[in-house]
Amino acid sequence: MSILIVAVTIVVVAVPEGLPLAVTLALAYATRRMLKDRNLVRVLRSCETMGNATTVCSDKTGTLTQNVMTVVAGSIGTSNRFSNRAGQSHADSHDDVEGVATGEFIHTLADDVKSIWKDSIAINSTAFEKDDNGKKAFVGSKTETALLDFAQEHLGMDAISLERSNVETVQMIPFDSGRKCMGIVVKLKSGGYRLLVKGASEIMLRYCATIIKDPSKSASPTTMTGDNKKTLQALIDAYADRSLRTIGFIYRDYESWPPKGARRTEDDKTQPVFEDICKNMTFLGVVGIQDPLRKGVPEAVEDCIKAGVFPRMVTGDNILTAKAIARECGIFTAGGVALEGPDFRKMSQADQRAIIPKLQVLARSSPDDKRTLVKRLKEMGETVAVTGDGTNDAPALKAADVGFSMNISGTEVAKEASDIILMDDNFTSIVLALMWGRAVNDAVRKFLQFQITVNITAVLLAFISAVSDDEEQSVLTAVQLLWINLIMDTMAALALATDPPSRRILERKPDPKSAPLISTTMWKMIIGQAIYQLVVTLVIYFAGPRILDGILGGDSAQEEAELQALVFNTFTWMQIFNALNNRRLDNRFNVFEGIFKNLFFIMIFCIMIGGQTLIMFVGGEAFQVVRQTGPQWAIAIILGVISLPIGIVIRLVPNELAAKLVPPFIKSYARRNKEKVVVTDEENPFQFNEALYDIKQELAFIKRYKGGRLNALKFAVSHPKEALLHSRSPSRSRASSSLPRTPNNELSENEDGQSPAPPTPDSRRKRGRSRSNSAFAGAAMAGIVAGSIAGGFSPIDRDTDSLKFARGRSKSDLSKEVRMDVHPETKKEDPVVVNEDPVEQAGNQPPSQSTDTTPQFGRGPFTGEPSNTLSEGKSDDKSEDHHKP
């Protein structure tokens, strides 16, 4: 019966039932503290995933900038300009775009020009006015509210409801992210109709054929010349270089509505097609809107780079504005590339994979461009975090490993599609989420490191002592083992799972998806401490009567009781002090760093000390221990404290040396497990028709005769399910190099543009049966061979153009086909296009983690000190000021 009790107790101790508790506690504690750091976690697993993020695709407006917009410059026509220089440094001024003061400029405009401009702002808007504590305030898009403030202050705009009630609205054209504009049709008092459109200035310029001749006299238009267009484009570029968002205003008068000859939309036959009405427009003017950078964003971007996280800007703004903001906050660096959405979306998948490793800014992008970018990054093995605030951003948020939505400016659809909600819409909060994500991962590893050490020592000690004892009694009783189990499960989970993140957590790269849960450094500590504890307890147990002569009791019964109590007391104190060792997972020595920031650890540490002391003094009968003398207490505590210097010695052992000491058969087993394919959560194992694979193998010999036609046969006979299934699972899976590819080395897609699911273990396993066993395979192969040789039939339907591309086109020609803006400080010998497969060139890791495939950040993990924007106490409640813009 005693053996059965000991066996059951050992099983209870050995089974890591505290692991789920530790994971739950770590996630619950992190999510609660993240809320104080302006991160509302909706999906718990996103905390862990964010800790290993390799790239962040961030919006510009409101995330990197303050989303506090003001009209500071503008022009009506080509030469009448105004500029508000207040708050601008001399370095920010541009002689070629400066104008008169705003008030002076308005007085020079003709009344009909001001009227058209006022209507373009007030009527062509979806913002509205509300009473805020007795003050009128505009509510809506920050761009529109900035324009309304300008119109109210300088153009004599009345209450917006009054302005809109004075005109008859015929049709509203809502803002479209593809067209980058919005419009409205109003009926004029003269009987005609006027189409007012505002939007991205360079796009508005393309729609125009005329321009206001002299704004100071009237709104009479004149033909727009090539010089006019060049002047306006230069003005727009100059505004964009000053980090200003440019909005253009255009209009056109019609005699009737809908216009004659205009096509009708399919949804509403009474509404004309936008492209048929928005042409031959008159250019009214352009304004530059300033949106200052958020405080602390440059430092937060630097923190991301130092942590091995590649920051990217994805915005709908002008590419010059985007580049200016990106340079200001440190995203656009030497070796980096800025690209526009229209150019990005017309590129092939192979070209996108070639340019993405150096892509830092994607401007004029649509929500679909963002989703495509996220998909390509995931195909290259990146762990992607993305921000979004609009309804159209939902697909990108869902496709990303971690989706961040905006609490202030975000829609409900975007919030529902996201994993984490940024309560202050601030990029700095993303860095805090990164820190807490890594803290969660570390918390689980700390707990495992501690628990495995206790498991190994307790089980071996109980087993060896029971086997060697004549009465088959373990030196640790069942009740003692249960107390030890309570220490290593519940208490250790509370103590080690609640460590807040420190600044040093940003000084390392993200863990690869294939990284083991227990690292070499952890195994060193586990095995080293287990050996020390086993040696100490076994020496005391077997050699205690000899080496402790005079310290133990006189008679044999008393001596044995004191010896067993000493073994239990020493073993427990070693676990208590080893908990301090497990606060660190690296090879640094200071295990007390930040300990006073974790009150849970201090409290649990004191409870363990008090509980053990209480047991040894008053728990004699229940725990089968006798009271210890002073020297016995000293031995137990000193041997426990020695765990700390033993930890230092273990950390001094190089990881490379520790890895060499691992037996070869263990390395071989680990390597085999690492090479296994991981099936994602959304995939179901299924059996392919092996006859098709037999055909593929039997036809391999024809390659040397038919060459090009059968070069892609490996892809062509893939199972239809591989082309239909699409996985968005955040589970760890193999790199995208295992996915089927087209002849020009592109990842295949289905009709919806979705990538196929990764191959399953069934699709990759070796088939040992004879291929001749399949009658279907033999018959089908014979028909294919005959048709291929006699009639030129090929079992693969492919586009001949893609073959020409694969053979005759170099990726180095990519820059000649699309507009790529390369950072001016980029070295001539630094390639901006990755000519090889990015994953292979990066050493079979995400391209963002290799200096060979990334821009020249000039800094990275383990170089220099992190910035001081986020203090070490940022996770505490006292650092609220960092969230203020």
DSSP string, 529-545: HHHHHHHHHHHHHHHHH
Give which of 418, 368, 360 is closest to 388, Cα–Cα.
418
Could you tell me the CA-to-CA distances from 262 to 183, 259, 619, 778 in Å, in that order?
Answer: 16, 6, 94, 60
Which H or E run includes 574? helix 556-581
- CA 426 from centre of chain: 15
Give the count of alpha carbons within 13 A of 17, CB side only: 11
User: In whole angstroms, what is the distance from residue 45 CA to residue 26 CA?
Assistant: 11
Q: What pLDDT shows up at residue 698?
A: 52
Residue 631 has pLDDT above 80, yes or no: yes
Average predicted confidence (pLDDT) for the chain: 79
Could you tell me the CA-to-CA distances from 457 to 523, 547, 579, 580, 786 in Å, in that order?
Answer: 14, 22, 14, 17, 70
Confidence class for position 98, pLDDT limits 50, 70, 90: low
Please give the structure tokens belonging to residue 863: 């170089």
CB 161: neighbour CB atoms within 10 A? 10
- CA 116 from centre of chain: 45
Residue 363 has pLDDT above 80, yes or no: yes
Q: Residue ranges of the domains in the chain?
A: 1-38+431-499+517-662, 55-65+294-425+809-842, 70-89+96-290
DSSP 602: H
Decide if 56 contacts 488 (C-beta within 8 A). no
Q: What is the mean pLDDT of residues 620-634?
A: 88
Confidence class for position 693, pLDDT limits 50, 70, 90: very low
CATH topology of domain 70-89+96-290: Calcium-transporting ATPase, cytoplasmic domain N (3.40.1110)
Q: What is the mean pLDDT of residues 842-863?
A: 72
Confidence class for position 791, pLDDT limits 50, 70, 90: very low
Q: What pLDDT shows up at residue 666?
A: 62
Give residues with Cβ within 8 angstroms of 264, minimum separation 6: 258, 270, 271, 272, 273
- Is 789 or 276 the better-scoring residue by pLDDT? 276
Give which of 384, 328, 311 is closest to 857, Cα–Cα.
311
User: In whole angstroms, what is the distance from residue 164 CA to residue 182 CA?
Assistant: 16
CATH code linked to domain 55-65+294-425+809-842: 3.40.50.1000
Q: What percent of the chain has pLDDT over 90?
A: 38
Q: What is the mean pLDDT of residues 313-319?
A: 90
User: In whole angstroms, what is the distance from residue 323 CA to residue 305 CA?
Assistant: 18
Q: What is the mean pLDDT of residues 259-279?
A: 86
Percent composition of the chain: helix, strand, coil (DSSP 3-state, to 5): 50, 15, 35
- Is 558 or 743 the better-scoring residue by pLDDT? 558
User: In whole angstroms, what is the distance from residue 569 CA to residue 628 CA?
Assistant: 9
User: In whole angstroms, what is the distance from residue 605 CA to residue 577 CA?
Assistant: 9
Q: Which tens digit of pLDDT belongs to each residue from 104-134?
A: 889 899 999 999 999 999 999 999 888 777 7
Backbone Cα Rg of the chain: 35
User: Which residue shows structure tokens 């942590």?
Assistant: 307
Topology agreement, domain 1-38+431-499+517-662 and domain 70-89+96-290: no
Reported pTM? 0.75
Active site residue 59: yes
Residue 87 has pLDDT above 50, yes or no: no
CATH topology of domain 1-38+431-499+517-662: Calcium-transporting ATPase, transmembrane domain (1.20.1110)
Annotated active-site residue in 37, 59, 119, 291? 59
Give which of 405, 444, 411 is closest to 423, Cα–Cα.
405
3-state class of 127 per DSSP? coil
Q: What pLDDT shows up at residue 417?
A: 92
User: In whole angstroms, what is the distance from residue 376 CA to residue 353 CA?
Assistant: 7
